[in-house]
Structure 1
Amino acid sequence: MSSIETRFLMTYPAMSAYEFDHFREEAAVQERWRSASLYMICQRPVIFFDDVVAESGVISGRIRQRGNATALRFELDILPGQPYFGSTSETIIEFNFYDHQPTPTPPLKNVAAIKFFDSENKFTGYLSPERLLFEHLRIGKFARIKGDISALLRYEVHYIGQAQDQPIERRLRRHETFQRILAREFPRIAQDIPTMEISLLFFGLDYASTPVTFQILDGGELSDSQGRPLSDKEAEEALLSTRLERFRNEIVNDAEAYLINFMLPRYNHVRYANYPLISNGLRSCGFDRIEHQVIPFGTLETEEATMKFSVSPVFSH
């Protein structure tokens, strides 16, 4: 038991602190958060929908970001029965704006989110620009997008943390550093308020394995690399059926320390300079080679390091 590999994926789209405050009580949102064990508090200029038109069962327009010349084109088919759109034959659409628009007329400008209701006026979901891009990247055919998505999804990482002993929503609601970041960080674009720029990213453990070497003897028994037959318990461990679940807490502790040590966010005062020699980490469980893969939908940056947007992220100091 000397080697372990893990993979963490985003379990929920990046959401602004403003969105978090408005939607944290939604059961569907909390359900998606349950599988998240790591989170990042980040910042980026506001991303918004622009030139939005809804007609003939299709919502179309552009996705823009303050201070960024890049714009994406999008088209979204409204299909009742599909995620977000409810199960009734009719879907009601409501637009929310970043500024006061008493009589908005298409094409709509500065749209913060698109809300959906069924024919009985029951809320069925909402899409922010980041949520639309997340579902497009996750599902593939959720929407039609044209343009360089990676140019908009860039996040300055302020803090990395974990929530294993309580729901992540409750952890963030009482989080002193989260409140400190909201109070101290100036908006990158003057017209917006910090809660619209401060963003939350959520990651959950998707995969963990310990590569092992074994052989199958003539009689069908499993043996180790030296030919020694394995007991039933040893064979079960060699085939990784259950044994890593008991290390879940140590995996999350270790991944958090690894990320902090690599990214060095300035609001993380504990830097884990001796990583992987940490208490309650994977080295204390007997692993001497530890490899974590964290896959974000976006590029993560601090003054010290960058985690680039890709299917298999590239790390650079």
Structure 2
Amino acid sequence: MARDPRPAPAAPEDGLLEWMKAARIIAKIPYPPVSAWEFGQLKTERAVRDRLKGATVYIIAQRPILWFDQVRVEDGQIRLDINDGQGPPVKAIVDPYGLGIFATDEPMTVECGFHHDATDQPPPWDRAASLKLYDRDKTLRVWWSPQKLLFEAFALDRPILLAGDPERFMDFEIHYIGKAYDQRLWKRLKAHERYLDILTYEKVRGVDHAQPSLEITIFALEVVELEELHGVRDGSEEGQADPPGLTIFRHPDNPADPRWRAFRRRWAQAHEPAVTTELEAALIDLFKPAHNTIKVKVYPKIAGGLHALGYSDTLLRLKNCPYIFRTEAGGTPLEGADPEDGW
């Protein structure tokens, strides 16, 4: 992807300059990633549906499941280990009172959810899939899966103490990328043929279980902003041709010129279908997931995307993304990216 276009230099004798106009799509992850099993439990929860309402692109990925071990409450703090059976666990301390979930003198009840039958198991709890915190009226204040807890620690900068190597839990293998612009995300996934194929045919990556739905994970992406960047083109490097299909505009740097005004007006808004189409296609082209049977042949020349609206190039930025995404072939185009600046 090209760099941001530069501001205009001195004009040549004919007064015409070569301009480029790029669009930068800024997206975010509106809700922590959830496993297919968790999605089945949560898709009827109104709070979750509201958070996913603006999401139009989704990623179906996989990694070994995480669980909580040694869960116990000591002096109002929840102490636990996060484990995946693949290496040393990460120790964590969660302070619901320090996080403002409960008032200082307010009683708290902690319950664990399990993928297996663990009726009446006394603390410390092991192999727990989730934590649920209730107040004295038995109203649920907050719940955490291991991934939700890590998301809040890394992406939202919540003061959750972690000791060990939690970054190793942020590595995911991408299977499929899709969009759900014209329907609710949970409805799209509920009857999703590829989603069902992945649950049926993908092998388990972790240990001590045989349920792919515990590992298959859904990331939702929401476009929050579309920036337009315009300036005089850099020019191709010596001996290198311009990328095929690169759109160049020729006009003077003069606001009175109608071509200048047409070039400077806004061409698209963040929540238009073309932006969703562009984001989906850019990610498919970047990762080439195995379950995306329809590949992007010549990106960015795609039907219904931003290039079709006239933009010279598209840049992407994904906010609050502490994850490393990979494909089956290994490696990741995003590894080593500056988390402050996005991709």
**Which bin holds the TM-score, normalised by the shorter protein?**
0.7 to 0.9
Cα distance in 2 between the residues matched to 1:309 and 1:22:
34
- Quick check: 1:78 aligned with 2:102? no
RMSD of the TM alignment (CA)? 3.0
Which structure has greater strand proportion? 1
* Pairs within 5 Å for 1:13-92: 13-66=32-85, 68-79=86-97, 82=100, 89-92=106-109
* Partner residue of 1:212 out of 215, 219, 230: 230
- Quick check: 1:265 aligned with 2:289? yes
What's the counterpart of residue 228 of structure 1?
Answer: 255
Q: Which runs of 5+ in 1 are unaligned?
A: 215-223
What's the counterpart of residue 186 of structure 1?
Answer: 203
Q: CA deviation at 1:282?
A: 0.7
The amino acid that maps onto 1:256 is E
The amino acid that maps onto 2:70 is D
Between 1:85-94 and 1:100-109, the stretch displaced more is 85-94
* Partner residue of 2:316 out of 292, 307, 313: 292
Q: Which runs of 5+ in 2 are unaligned?
A: 1-19, 233-250
Cα distance in 2 between the residues matched to 1:261 and 1:47:
29
Q: CA deviation at 1:27?
A: 0.8
- Quick check: 1:254 aligned with 2:278? yes
Cα distance in 2 between the residues matched to 1:20 and 1:86:
30
Between 1:134-143 and 1:88-97, the stretch displaced more is 88-97
The amino acid that maps onto 1:205 is V
Change in Cα spacing, 1:40 to 1:180, as seen in structure 2 (3 Å) is same
Larger Rg: 2
Identity percentage of aligned residues: 25
What's the counterpart of residue 11 of structure 2?
Answer: none
Change in Cα spacing, 1:171 to 1:61, as seen in structure 2 (3 Å) is same
Cα offsets for 1:120-173 (capped at 9, x unmatched): 212233100100011111331341222322211111111000111011011111
Please tell me whether the aligned partners of residues 110 and 134 of structure 2 are also in contact (alpha carbons under 8 angstroms).
yes
Cα distance in 1 between the residues matched to 2:125 and 2:171:
25
Please tell me whether the aligned partners of residues 88 and 119 of structure 1 are also in contact (alpha carbons under 8 angstroms).
no
Please tell me whether the aligned partners of residues 88 and 118 of structure 1 are also in contact (alpha carbons under 8 angstroms).
no
> What SS does the aligned partner of 1:50 have?
strand
The amino acid that maps onto 1:282 is L
Cα distance in 2 between the residues matched to 1:227 and 1:283:
25
- Quick check: 1:5 aligned with 2:24? yes
Change in Cα spacing, 1:138 to 1:303, as seen in structure 2 (3 Å) is closer
Between 1:9-18 and 1:243-252, the stretch displaced more is 243-252
What's the counterpart of residue 221 of structure 1?
Answer: none
* Pairs within 5 Å for 1:160-171: 160-171=177-188
- Quick check: 1:198 aligned with 2:216? yes
- Quick check: 1:105 aligned with 2:130? no
